[in-house]
């Protein structure tokens, strides 16, 4: 009788191990763990958010990394979206750098208004998203 109980307990452990492995495979736990450990935070954030579509969050991450932006630029989106200043690690009381502007979902005709204000285009993605800077 004891042998049967021990056999059942071993079978339970084996069944639990098999269920954990099946669950891990279905949730892609191994693949996701690999991505987390082998990809830096910036690359994961760019992949998780849209690049230059609705919110433009991926594009802002790209600009922050490429141009080493350390002051909070003015971010304007042609669509109604939430404030993106959190990308720069700043909060409501931080003032914007009025000489730097990120435009999301803007077209060329709206860009001309900023060019008249002496802004230069530093980055242009598909004539839809722009990074502008004004040199004093």
Residue scoring higher pLDDT (3 or 124)? 124
Q: How confident is the model at residue 7 (pLDDT cuts 50, 70, 90)?
A: confident
**Residue 133 pLDDT > 90, yes or no?**
yes
| 77-132 pLDDT, tens digit each | 888 777 777 777 765 557 888 899 999 988 888 888 888 888 989 999 888 899 99
pTM: 0.69
Is the Cα dihedral 102, 106, 108, 109 positive or negative?
negative
Question: What pLDDT score was predicted for residue 1?
Answer: 67
Ranges of each domain in the chain: 2-38, 41-133
* Burial grade of 68 (CB within 10 A; 0-12, 13-18, 19 or more): exposed
| 9-68 pLDDT, tens digit each | 778 888 899 999 999 889 998 898 898 899 887 778 777 777 888 888 888 888 988 998
Question: What pLDDT score was predicted for residue 44?
Answer: 81
Q: How big is the CA angle at 99 (ends 94 and 104), to the nearest 5 degrees?
A: 85
> First-to-last CA distance in the chain?
89
Q: Which residues pair with 123 in a beta bridge?
A: 131
């Amino acid at each position: 009788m004891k042998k049967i109980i021990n056999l059942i307990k071993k079978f339970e452990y084996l069944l639990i191990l098999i269920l954990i492995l099946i669950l891990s495979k279905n949730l892609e736990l191994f693949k996701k763990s690999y991505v987390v450990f082998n990809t830096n935070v910036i690359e994961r954030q760019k992949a998780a958010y849209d690049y230059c579509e609705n919110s433009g969050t991926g594009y802002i991450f790209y600009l922050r990394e490429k141009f080493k932006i350390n002051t909070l630029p003015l971010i304007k989106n042609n669509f109604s979206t939430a404030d993106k200043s959190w990308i720069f690690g700043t909060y409501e009381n931080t003032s914007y750098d009025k000489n730097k502007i990120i435009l999301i979902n803007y077209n060329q005709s709206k860009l001309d208004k900023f060019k008249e204000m002496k802004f230069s285009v530093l980055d242009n993605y598909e004539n839809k998203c722009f990074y502008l800077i004004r040199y004093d």
